[in-house]
A and B are shown apart, each in its own frame.
Chain A
Amino acid sequence: MNLAGFCSLLPEALVIALMFVVFAADLFLPSIKKRLGGLTAWGLTAILACLLWQGFLAGGQKFGETFQGTFLCDPMALFFKALFILTGIIVVILAREFLKKADKNPGEFYLLILSALLGMLFLASANDFILLFVSVELVTVSFYVMTAYLKTDQRSVEAGIKYLILGALSSGMMLYGISFIYGHTGSTHFDAVRGALFGMTSAPPLLLLGILLLIAGLGFKAGAVPFQLWIPDVYEGAPIPVTAFLSVGSKMAGFAALLRICVSVIAPFDKKWALLMAVIAAMTLVYGNLGAIPQKNIKRFFGYSGIGHAGYLLTAIAAGGFSGARGVLFYLLSYAVTMLAAFLVVVYCSVHLESDDMSAYDGLSRRSPLLAGALFLSLLSLAGVPPLSGFFAKFLVLSSAVEKGLIWLAVLGALNVVISLYYYLTLVKRMYIHPPAGGVIAVPLSFQIPLYLLMLGIVGIGVVQGPFVRLAASAVSGFF
Chain B
Amino acid sequence: MNEAFFFYLFSGLTLLAALYVVFTKNPTYAVLSLVAAMFSLAILFVLLHAYFIAVVHVLVYAGAILVLFLFVVMLLGVGREEPASKSQRLYRIFGGFVVVGFLLEIGLIIKAVSSSAQESPTILAGTIEAVGKLLFTEYFLPFEITSVLLLVGIVGAVVLSRREQMPAEGQYLPGKAAEGGRSKQV
Is B72 part of the binding interface, using a Cβ–Cβ cutoff of 8 Å? no
Is A68 part of the binding interface, using a Cβ–Cβ cutoff of 8 Å? yes
Is B156 part of the binding interface, using a Cβ–Cβ cutoff of 8 Å? yes
Considering the complex, give the chain B residue whose CB is closest to the CB of A157: B180
Q: Which of B145, B156, B159 contacts A122 (CB 8 A)?
A: B145
CA distance A115 to B147 in the complex (A): 12
Q: Which of B138, B152, B181 contacts A141 (CB 8 A)?
A: B152
Considering the complex, give the chain A residue whose CB is closest to the CB of B156: A145
Considering the complex, give the chain B residue whose CB is closest to the CB of A108: B159
- Interface residues on chain B, number (Cβ under 8 Å): 27
Q: What chain A residues lie within 8 Å of B164 (beta carbons)?
A: 151-152
Tell me, rounded to whole Å, the shortest Cβ–Cβ distance linking A125 to chain B: 9
Tell me, rounded to whole Å, the shortest Cβ–Cβ distance linking A74 to chain B: 16
CA distance A70 to B141 in the complex (A): 8
- Tell me the residues in window 115-166 of chain B with beta carbons closer than 8 Å to chain A beta carbons: 137-142, 145-146, 148-149, 151-153, 155-156, 158-160, 164
Q: Which of A67, A145, A168 contacts B141 (CB 8 A)?
A: A67
- In the complex, are the beta carbons of B142 and A128 less than 8 A apart? yes
Q: Which of A112, A135, A137, A161 contacts B183 (CB 8 A)?
A: A161
Q: Which of A142, A157, A160 contacts B152 (CB 8 A)?
A: A142
Is A138 part of the binding interface, using a Cβ–Cβ cutoff of 8 Å? yes
- In the complex, are the beta carbons of B148 and A138 less than 8 A apart? yes
- In the complex, are the beta carbons of B156 and A112 less than 8 A apart? yes
Considering the complex, give the chain B residue whose CB is closest to the CB of A187: B138
- In the complex, are the beta carbons of A145 and B138 less than 8 A apart? no
Is B67 part of the binding interface, using a Cβ–Cβ cutoff of 8 Å? no
- In the complex, are the beta carbons of A141 and B142 less than 8 A apart? no
Q: What chain B residues lie within 8 Å of A160 (beta carbons)?
A: 180, 184
- In the complex, are the beta carbons of B141 and A141 less than 8 A apart? no
Interface size class of A (residues with CB under 8 A): 20 to 34
- In the complex, are the beta carbons of B140 and A141 less than 8 A apart? no
Is B179 part of the binding interface, using a Cβ–Cβ cutoff of 8 Å? yes
Is B111 part of the binding interface, using a Cβ–Cβ cutoff of 8 Å? no
- In the complex, are the beta carbons of A68 and B156 less than 8 A apart? no
Q: What chain A residues lie within 8 Å of B180 (beta carbons)?
A: 148, 151-152, 157, 160
A interface, CB within 8 angstroms of B: 16, 19, 66-68, 70-71, 108, 111-112, 115, 118, 122, 128, 130-131, 133-135, 137-138, 141-142, 144-145, 148-149, 151-152, 157, 160-161, 164, 168
Beyond A134-B142, A134-B145, 11 additional pairs, beta carbon < 8 A: A68-B137, A108-B158, A112-B155, A115-B148, A118-B148, A131-B141, A133-B142, A134-B149, A138-B149, A142-B156, A168-B186
B interface, CB within 8 angstroms of A: 137-142, 145-146, 148-149, 151-153, 155-156, 158-160, 164, 176-177, 179-181, 183-184, 186
Instruction: Write 15 A-B pairs (CB below 8 A) sorted by A numbering.
Output: A68-B137, A108-B159, A112-B155, A112-B159, A122-B145, A128-B142, A131-B142, A133-B142, A134-B145, A138-B145, A145-B160, A148-B160, A151-B181, A152-B180, A160-B184
The list of the 6 closest CB pairs from A to B, nearest first, reads A145-B156, A151-B180, A67-B141, A134-B142, A130-B142, A131-B142
